[in-house]
Amino acid sequence: MAITSNDTSITGLNIKHENAPVVGVLALQGDFREHIEMLNILGVVSCEIRLPSALCDLDALIIPGGESTTIARLVLQYGFLEPLRDFCASGRPVWGTCAGAILLARDVDELDRPGIQAMDIQIQRNAFGRQLQSFQSQVAIDGISDGEFPAVFIRAPAIIDVDASVEILATLPDGKIVAARQRNLLATVFHPELTTDVRLHNLFLSMID
């Protein structure tokens, strides 16, 4: 049975059990609980991260969807910016979903504060229109077998340009890039944690050494 801990009141908690990887989910705002739930389903040790000091215990980090301007504000307010940049530079896997992908991007339109800016992608916020234009679409993703993925786009951004070192994993028919990977960094502009499909979480977990 998986051992999980969502308790960040115990800062620096030593929650490594028999070398099982520990995956943190940044829990400042957004749908971090849904990611934790997915990790629980997969039997992965997980932890909600609310303080920069808790990052050191992790083998991988997920930055959830939500509202990127709010998350960016809280990242600054709680002193997360440099620790998150260091985490990305450490080589440990980091996955940004939707607003999380916005936070990871080197270049974003209309983000009023700096994000982490670790991944060489250019992102356009709200690229599909307003909340009412949210949609679900079956998307073929490189590295995901057994058929297309049910991708949920909620006031989603799009990746509109990437550096040559970025691997494009999924593109919509109109050319918008919706999933990409660069070294240890994974970005998806949709929400796998809102589905019952664990394949993208498994892909991310496979990036842990």
Binding residues (CB under 6 A) for ligand GLN: these are 65-68, 98-99, 102, 125-126, 154-157
Say how far apart CA 47 and CA 57 lie, in whole Å. Answer: 10
Residue whose CB is less far from ligand GLN, 68 or 171:
68
Work out how close the CB of 61 gets to ligand GLN at its nearest, in angstroms, rounded to a whole number. Answer: 16
User: Annotated catalytic, 56?
Assistant: no
Residue whose CB is less far from ligand GLN, 15 or 149:
149
DSSP H stretches of helix in the chain: 32-41, 68-77, 81-89, 99-104, 199-205
Work out how close the CB of 178 gets to ligand GLN at its nearest, in angstroms, rounded to a whole number. Answer: 12
Residue whose CB is less far from ligand GLN, 57 or 67:
67
Residue whose CB is less far from ligand GLN, 21 or 150:
150
Question: Which residue in the list 98, 148, 167, 201 is annotated as catalytic?
Answer: 98
Instruction: Give exposure, 99-136, as e/b (b: 16+ Cβ within 10 Å).
Output: bbbbbbbbbbeebeeebbbbbbbbbbbbbbeeeeeeee
Provide CB contacts within 8 A for 21, sequence distance 6+: 44, 45, 59, 60, 205, 208
Nearest to 162 by CA among 179, 141, 143, 147: 179
Question: Which residue in the list 34, 48, 191, 201 is annotated as catalytic?
Answer: 191
Work out how close the CB of 145 gets to ligand GLN at its nearest, in angstroms, rounded to a whole number. Answer: 26
User: Annotated catalytic, 191?
Assistant: yes
CA distances for 110 relative to 37, 64, 73, 125, angstroms = 31, 19, 14, 7
Question: Which residue in the list 34, 35, 48, 193 is annotated as catalytic?
Answer: 193
Work out how close the CB of 51 gets to ligand GLN at its nearest, in angstroms, rounded to a whole number. Answer: 22
- Provide the annotated active-site residues: 98, 191, 193
